[in-house]
Amino acid sequence: MNGAKAMMNEEALGWVIRTRDPEFADWEAFTAWLEADPAHAPAYDALMAADADLVRIIPAEPVVIAAPANDAGTRGWRWPRSLIGGGAVAAALVATLSTGMWNRSDIYTVTTRPGETRTVALDEGTHIELNGGTTMRFDRHDARFAALDSGEAAFTVRHDPADPFRVTVGNALFEDAGTVFNIVRTGTATRIGVSEGEVIYNPKAEAIALPAGRALTDDENGLRVMDIATDAVASWRQGRLSYANAPVTQISADIARSLGVRLTATPGAGAMRFTGTIRLDRDPARFFGQAAPLMGLSAVREGDGWLLKEGDGPPR
């Protein structure tokens, strides 16, 4: 082992010992160390996972990040990315549920094409509906775990307090508390909405409870928790997409996923926001003829796809 690697492992061990302490609070320094070198997080994770009793490694009490006052003009809370993104919270989570488990031979992948949907039944009372353009992984020997790699899925979960259902999305973990919820994963951004029961976001870290009627967004701008109409959660299953002040860029990705069309937007159109309900239609010309004006936009055919642009007009 060379000197640099030995020093890195010594530093990682020091952080393992410090973060085991329930009184540990220097998460910003820990985050800075993790982000200083791509090799730091794997070294830390390996040492954390080496302990036979992970319960003793993670602090007994969750690290709670106090919610600041609502941003002006919004209905939710926002946590700065410097406190959570790719740092201490993610590292503690990965130590709890090692990404190595997904490399076993009993893990299988289900993928849907854009515009295709599929339902996966896991155990009695638990099933997952995959929207188009979605990739998920499951465990043949454990029906209480799943991983959403990309796309969108609606979860109907049988609650078992002794064996909670958990789904990993990127570096985040969602744990159910008797629940119907929907998760969208686009790039590194994650959105979840809860229509029944409750979901816990990162139960060993932020431990943010999301009851029915609440939603969470985790993207480059940080964490945001907000209200959501319960009938808007996974509304794609009923052939509609419902939004409250959502950016057109997000809506475009949802449309492309649900209908299986290639869809882009001009910068001006993508920056616009929309509140309302869009009815899905498998006929693209008919769909855009109704949906684009509803958003105050026009739709133009571009090769085998469509472009949303400013201006209200019929599709061409």
Q: Are 193 and 208 in contact, with CB atoms under 8 Å apart?
A: no
Q: How confident is the model at residue 210 (pLDDT cuts 50, 70, 90)?
A: very high
User: CATH topology of 102-230 equal to that of 239-310?
Assistant: no
Which residues touch 38 (CB under 8 Å, ≥6 apart)? Answer: none
- Lowest-confidence region among 10-19, 104-113, 147-156, 234-243: 10-19
- Report pLDDT digits (tens) over 47-83: 766 543 333 333 333 333 333 333 333 334 444 433 3
Positions of E strands within 158-221: 166-169, 172-176, 179-186, 189-196, 198-201, 208-211, 214-219
Domain range annotation of the chain: 3-99, 102-230, 239-310
Q: 10 Å Cβ neighbour count for 270?
A: 17
Query: In this structure, what are the phi and psi dihedrals at residue 13, rounded to the nearest 5 degrees?
Result: -65, -40
For position 49, what pLDDT does the model report?
Answer: 61
For position 24, what pLDDT does the model report?
Answer: 65
Stronger pLDDT, 302 or 316, i.e. the higher one: 302
CATH topology of domain 239-310: Phage tail protein beta-alpha-beta fold (3.55.50)
Question: Whole-number mean pLDDT of the chain?
Answer: 80
pTM for this predicted structure = 0.68
Which CATH architecture fits 102-230? Sandwich (2.60)
Q: Which CA distances in Å does 258 have to 168, 261, 291, 305? A: 22, 8, 14, 14
